[in-house]
């Protein structure tokens, strides 16, 4: 794909994905996706992207990674029949952290399908950057749920990318270790996993030591950056930028998946880092500027208003659109009191326990490990399996045409759908003050 100033950005949002409830006391709030989408629309960023209502993944798609009995359980269990599945709850780690709620399988189908479609569009060269804020559920394992995650959309999307890409790089900036993705690709050099996370003091999930480096063919292809509480923008970027620079030089990936968990922001309900939205966003911009096909996903994030701010800002970086610090009026405006700004001041709750020397030691160790790998491993020529998604295209699309009519027909809204200007017929005449 030609990467110029005008990258094609595809944005996937299912309007139903924000309506699910893990439970009244549960920290995971899918509503954050609806709030993020509202901000993205009210800032007018839909004009800079192809906005799609995504494909919904089938059980067959999910079984590309997960076991059939686990996916069948997710399809059949509900709050109404949970007693009948009582023996399976422990087996599949479903209960407190990962509760059974109404529409559970549909929720998994929506966020997984969007990641899968994003990967497929990247494979076909019909987009340069694909965004799915509902995805990034990195803890789910082959046989079980874990850490609020049921289906590992990331692993399924990477498996799709591997049909066309010899080397895929996975980067995780969630505060929690990307254990499910690391585990899935621990024995292969086709995927390098790089996770920046809080480690120690029994912090979930308890994995992600610097010496977890992969095994067999995957030795040195798992990269872990264990951080201590209180890390701020300056310290985080001090380790993030050189590590990613080394990884890009040594590994030379042909596609990147970036998990942007927002629980690494300051004042997160479950987190203990001190990143600002600008610091978090700087990581996204740094990765984007390598000009490699990029799938951008959400992840954790439990202070709803800050998650929405962060992912809205990062959407603006991905479409190269400067947006105002003053939030546009929207249906969730009161969530952002008292400042109503995109970049609120960071109030630090914890001292930064990461010394400059500690971060330099990590960076040096990782650099030494990366020097052990075969420079940019290659893949033998082989038949490419059929796409998991074929989008029901009867004929092959002309590769020299970026936007085909079939593509246009799948767009979530026609270009004239959104209110933009004074001639909108649906305006009800009310103002922000009324």
User: C-alpha angle 167/171/175, rounded to 5°?
Assistant: 160
| Mean pLDDT of all residues in 111-130 | 98
- Is 139 a known active-site residue? yes
Q: According to the annotation, is 97 in a ligand binding site?
A: yes
For tokens 């959400």, what's the residue?
298
What whole-number distance in Å separates Cα of residue 341 and Cα of residue 347? Answer: 15
For 97, 106, 115, 125, 294, the CA distances from 403, given in Å and listed in that order, are: 42, 30, 20, 11, 18
Cα 117 from chain centroid (whole Å):
14
Average pLDDT over all residues of the chain? 90
Whether residue 71 contacts residue 128, with contact meaning beta carbons closer than 8 Å, is answered with: no
Q: According to the annotation, is 263 in a ligand binding site?
A: yes
Q: Is residue 15 pLDDT above 60, yes or no?
A: yes
Tokens for 76? 């059949």
3-state secondary structure of 21: coil
In this predicted structure, what is the pLDDT of residue 422? 42
Among candidate residues 13, 37, 139, 165, the one labeled active-site is 139
414 against 362, higher pLDDT: 362
Domains defined for the chain, CATH in brackets: 9-380 (3.40.800.20)
Q: According to the annotation, is 367 in a ligand binding site?
A: no
In this predicted structure, what is the pLDDT of residue 406? 53
For 150, 170, 316, the CA distances from 216, given in Å and listed in that order, are: 28, 19, 40
In this predicted structure, what is the pLDDT of residue 349? 78
In this predicted structure, what is the pLDDT of residue 348? 82
DSSP 223-287: EEEEE-TT-BHHHHHHHHHHHHHHHHHHH--SEEEEE--GGGBTT-SS---BB-HHHHHHHHHHH
Q: Percent of the chain beyond pLDDT 90?
A: 83
Q: According to the annotation, is 176 in a ligand binding site?
A: yes
Q: Is residue 353 pLDDT above 80, yes or no?
A: yes
Q: What is the pLDDT of residues 191-201, one digit of tens each?
A: 999 999 999 99
In this predicted structure, what is the pLDDT of residue 387? 74
Q: According to the annotation, is 320 in a ligand binding site?
A: no
127 contact partners, CB below 8 Å, separation of at least 6: 8, 9, 10, 50, 118, 121
Whether residue 38 contacts residue 330, with contact meaning beta carbons closer than 8 Å, is answered with: yes
Q: Is residue 285 pLDDT above 50, yes or no?
A: yes
pLDDT band at 374 (very low <50, low <70, confident <90, very high): confident
Whether residue 5 contacts residue 44, with contact meaning beta carbons closer than 8 Å, is answered with: no
Tokens for 129? 């950057």
What whole-number distance in Å separates Cα of residue 317 and Cα of residue 258? Answer: 14
| Mean pLDDT of all residues in 91-111 | 97
For tokens 């800050």, what's the residue?
306
398 against 225, higher pLDDT: 225
Tokens for 134? 């509902």
260 against 375, higher pLDDT: 260
Q: According to the annotation, is 302 in a ligand binding site?
A: yes
**Helix boundaries (H) for 77-224:** 86-91, 104-123, 153-161, 179-184
Q: What is the pLDDT of residues 390-433, one digit of tens each?
A: 654 434 445 555 555 555 555 655 444 444 444 444 433 333 34
Q: What is the pLDDT of residues 131-155, one digit of tens each?
A: 999 999 999 999 999 999 999 999 9
Whether residue 252 contacts residue 242, with contact meaning beta carbons closer than 8 Å, is answered with: no
Q: What is the dihedral of CA 117, 123, 128, 129, to 10 degrees?
A: 40
For tokens 């009161």, what's the residue?
334
Q: What is the pLDDT of residues 35-93, one digit of tens each?
A: 999 999 999 999 999 999 999 999 999 999 999 999 999 999 999 999 999 999 999 99
Whether residue 26 contacts residue 145, with contact meaning beta carbons closer than 8 Å, is answered with: no
Q: Is residue 434 pLDDT above 50, yes or no?
A: no
Q: What is the pLDDT of residues 22-38, one digit of tens each?
A: 999 999 999 999 999 99
């Amino acid at each position: 794909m030609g990467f110029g100033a005008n990258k094609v950005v595809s944005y996937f949002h299912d309007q139903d994905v924000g309506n699910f409830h893990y439970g009244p006391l549960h920290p995971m709030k899918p509503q954050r996706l609806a709030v993020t989408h509202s901000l993205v629309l009210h800032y007018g960023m839909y004009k800079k992207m192809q906005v799609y209502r995504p494909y919904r993944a089938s059980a067959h798609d999910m079984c590309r990674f997960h076991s059939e009995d686990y996916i069948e359980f997710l399809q059949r269990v509900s709050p109404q029949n949970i007693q009948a599945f009582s023996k399976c709850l422990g087996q599949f780690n479903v209960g407190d952290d990962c509760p059974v709620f109404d529409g559970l399988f549909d929720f998994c189908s929506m966020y997984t399908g969007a990641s899968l479609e994003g990967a497929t569009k990247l494979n076909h060269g019909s987009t340069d950057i694909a965004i799915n804020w509902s995805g990034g559920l990195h803890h789910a394992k082959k046989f079980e749920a874990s850490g609020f995650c049921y289906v590992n959309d990331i692993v399924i999307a990477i498996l799709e990318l591997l049909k066309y890409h010899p080397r895929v790089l996975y980067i995780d900036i969630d505060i929690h270790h990307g254990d499910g993705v690391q585990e899935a690709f621990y024995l292969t050099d086709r995927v390098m996993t790089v996770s920046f996370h809080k480690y120690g003091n029994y912090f979930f999930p308890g994995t992600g030591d610097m010496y977890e480096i992969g095994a067999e063919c995957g030795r040195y292809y798992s990269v872990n950056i264990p951080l201590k509480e209180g890390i701020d923008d300056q310290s985080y970027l001090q380790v993030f930028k050189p590590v990613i620079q080394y990884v890009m030089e040594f590994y030379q990936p042909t596609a990147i998946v970036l998990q942007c968990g927002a629980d690494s922001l300051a004042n997160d309900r479950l987190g203990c880092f001190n990143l600002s939205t600008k610091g978090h966003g700087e990581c996204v911009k740094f990765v984007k500027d390598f000009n490699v096909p990029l799938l951008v996903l959400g992840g954790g994030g439990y202070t709803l208003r800050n998650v929405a701010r962060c992912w809205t800002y990062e959407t603006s970086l991905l479409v190269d659109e400067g947006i105002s610090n003053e939030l546009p009026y929207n249906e969730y405006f009161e969530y952002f009191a008292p400042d109503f700004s995109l970049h609120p001041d960071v109030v630090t709750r914890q001292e930064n326990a990461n010394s400059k020397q500690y971060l330099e030691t990590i960076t040096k160790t990782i650099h030494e490990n990366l020097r052990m790998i075969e420079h940019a491993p290659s893949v033998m020529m082989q038949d490419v399996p059929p796409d998991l998604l074929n989008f029901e295209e009867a004929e092959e699309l002309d590769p020299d045409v970026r936007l085909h009519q079939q593509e246009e027909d799948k767009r979530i809204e026609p270009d004239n759908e959104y209110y933009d200007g004074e001639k909108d017929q649906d305006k009800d005449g009310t103002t922000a003050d009324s």
